[in-house]
Structure 1
Amino acid sequence: MDTVFLQALTLRSVIGVRPWERSFAQRLELDLSLSVDTRNAAARDAIDAAVDYAALSERLTQRAADADCQLIETLAERLAMAVLEDTRIESVELTLRKPGAVPAARSVGVRIIRSQSEVP
């Protein structure tokens, strides 16, 4: 299996449990590692045979902007399920970070792994 990855995609979303956190869209960072067979895309050299990471980035950016979650775990799960809407992607390892959430730390976040077998 091959890996397509995306690192440090900046997202904005209303997220948090405290009232002040929910008063504005906060900056988040997303990393993706996608398990996908790239042989067909390589053989055809055509974007329609590949995972279009630009289109995927746009879709995830919009999903995050439209979300209104208290927990970063909830948003991570929703984003992972959005990734797996492309059935060519067998699994996704997703890291979602919330920079500055803890003053003494550069970032906090969650890393999850989901696969097609978990899609409802």
Structure 2
Amino acid sequence: MAVRYADCTRRQHLKREASETRFAQTADASLSVSGAGDASPSNGDSLQRQRPLQRQLQLQLQLQLQLQLQLQLQLQLQLQLQLQLQLQLQLQLQLSLRGLTATATATVATRNVNVNCRCADKKYY
């Protein structure tokens, strides 16, 4: 409790005491101890200090998201290239099988012609 001054009325004294109490509470509240042990005022200055930090964190998060998106796109591209390679290999296999089939068909046809010709030669001679 504040010392009462002889030259002021009770009302003035109560006002002064209330003012001193508010000032003391504000001073106590403004010196909050942070985790690092630094005293920082809680009068809005800390918010201005936090804004650049929040902005930096936002930018880091955006960068991480962009990198993840880029990685996903690269993986999709690799997958598409692998699928394209598989399709090309399947096509080559089908073409080679058709070539073998065509060669085998031609060989069988040639043998049939040769056999038929021999048979025809035998019949007519």
Give the TM bin, normalised by the shorter chain: under 0.3
Q: If each structure's strand is expressed as a fraction of its own residues, which one has the higher value? A: 1
Per the normalisation by structure 2, the TM-score is 0.18
Q: Between Structure 1 and Structure 2, whose CA radius of gyration is higher? A: 2
Structure with greater helix percent: 2
